[in-house]
Amino acid sequence: MKKLLALALALCMIFALCATSAFAEGETVGVAMPTKDLQRWNQDGENMKNMLEEAGYKVDLQFASNDVQQQLNQVTNMINSGCSVIVIAAIEGSSLGSALDLAKEKGIPVIAYDRLLMESDAVSYYATFDNYMVGTKQGTYVKEALDLDNAEGPFNLEITAGDPGDNNARYFYQGAIDVLQPYLDEGKLVVKSGQIDFNDVATPTWKTEVAQQRASSILSSFYADGSDIDVWLCSNDSTALGVTNALEDAYDGEWPIITGQDCDISNVKNMIAGKQSMSVFKDTRTLAAQVVKMVGQILAGEEVDVNDTETYDNNVIVVPSYLCEPVFADVNNYEELLLDSGYYTADQLK
């Protein structure tokens, strides 16, 4: 009897395995990425494609040159060509409404990838890094590097934030500002440009050149008298690069603390060269793996792994989310984080 039961169990397991992989094999997953211009989205796209293919899915991976209409067309095509699940890292969180409505009508689950899809009830899940925590890591770094609780100051600070069309940008900004606000209130941190509010410090499309232009104009308008800048709080690496370029062009004072996020290759090189103080490492392999798991759970009708059901309100629904943990990176731990883990090769950082 025991033998018969064991045989039956083994047969069931084999059947279940075959059924899952036959199921996976028929399915196409659409993956819509914002642009190839930034290193991270290339990595995110490639990681997800490889992992999904390994799991037996076909993948329709598209990049949209940061063009909202192009992304809308790509997502609409994914829906019409029969994708079973669509994963989207939006260029502009609120602009995909008509495609999302169509997905809902056809019963196609949509996963918001890294950036939340706004103003829609057609978003099934959201997977991202803890965006607010990214900001608190940047703010805490500044607080500790300047020893703000003990040092007398005042210190000059300028701020460069992200794209207003990206829901993440406000979380990064707020996370950092919440740490630094008491020192701004107390006058220990001074923003000579007076540009502090998110809308005054934002960088449309996150572009390096846009951040560089604004930084250059701040330098010529507020620091031409020779005053030092102690900190330039930048929300990510592409904007940190713009600020660094502007400083290299037109600043002779003591080199400031510069924050970042993503550990892009050029920025890691800048950290090694002492030009950027820190970054926040978001291992795109972790996020991709989480999303591949979500896709599998959705298609198998299983409960989907989430760890936050409160934070991410897209103005219509609170989207069940999985938040991965971002990691502080600087010149002291980049080898362990980025090289030992196989994220980059030593040659890439030369």
Q: Minimum Å distance from CB 238 to ligand BGC?
A: 6
Residue written as token pair 């890591």? 137
Nearest to ligand BGC of 49, 282 (CB atom): 282
CA dihedral 158, 350, 334, 39 (to 10 degrees): 60
Of 173, 206, 232, 281, which lies in the binding site for ligand BGC, with binding defined by CB under 6 A?
Answer: 206
Is the Cβ of residue 24 or residue 319 nearer to ligand BGC in the bound state?
A: 319
From CA 293, how far away is CA 296, in angstroms rounded? 5
Instruction: Pick between residue 40 and residue 143 the one whose CB is nearest to ligand BGC.
Output: 40
Contact present, 49 and 292 (Cβ < 8 Å): no
Smallest CA-to-CA distance from 217 within 191, 237, 243, 196 is with: 243
User: Is residue 58 packed enough to be buried (19+ CB in 10 Å), middle (13-18) or exposed (0-12)?
Assistant: middle
- Binding ligand BGC by CB under 6 A: which of 44, 130, 166, 230? 166
Does residue 259 interact with ligand BGC by CB under 6 A? Answer: no
Residues 80-139 that bind ligand BGC (CB under 6 A): 114-115
Decide: is 211 part of the binding site for ligand BGC (CB under 6 A): no
Query: How many residues interact with ligand BGC (rule CB under 6 A)?
Result: 12
Least Cβ distance, residue 74 to ligand BGC (angstroms): 17
Residues 271-290 within binding reach of ligand BGC (CB under 6 A) = 282
Interaction residues for ligand BGC, span 24-43 (CB under 6 A): 38, 40
| 71, 74, 138, 236: which one binds ligand BGC (CB under 6 A) | 236
Tokens at 316, concatenated: 């219509």
The verdict on 262 binding ligand BGC (CB under 6 A) reads yes
> Nearest distance from residue 12's CB to ligand BGC, in Å?
42
49 versus 115: smaller Cβ distance to ligand BGC: 115
| Cα(235)–Cα(207) distance, integer angstroms | 12
CB closer to ligand BGC out of 155 and 173:
173
- Within 10 Å of residue 319's Cβ, how many Cβ atoms? 24
Cβ within 8 Å of residue 54, ≥6 positions away: none
Q: List the 321-324 sheet strands across, edge first.
A: 58-63, 28-33, 85-88, 110-113, 125-129, 321-324
DSSP 285: H
How far is the first Cα of the chain from the last one, in angstroms, to the nearest whole number? Answer: 65
CB of 196 to ligand BGC, least distance (A): 21
Q: Minimal distance in Å, beta carbon 166 to ligand BGC?
A: 5
Q: Which is nearer to ligand BGC, 160 or 236 (CB)?
A: 236
Closest separation between CB of residue 298 and ligand BGC, Å? 23
Q: Least Å distance between CB 92 and ligand BGC?
A: 11
Give all strands (DSSP E) within 104-241, no chain letters: 110-113, 125-129, 155-160, 189-190, 231-234
Comparison of 95 and 238: residue with beta carbon closer to ligand BGC: 238
Q: How far apart are CA 87 and CA 295, in angstroms?
A: 9
Structure tokens at 25: 């094999």
We find the least distance from the C-beta atom of residue 235 to ligand BGC, in angstroms, to be: 8
Q: Which of 174, 261, 267, 279 binds ligand BGC (CB under 6 A)?
A: 261
| Beta strands at 257-258 and 155-160: parallel, antiparallel or unpaired | unpaired
Give the interface with ligand BGC as residue ranges (CB under 6 A).
38, 40, 114-115, 166, 168, 206, 236, 238, 261-262, 282
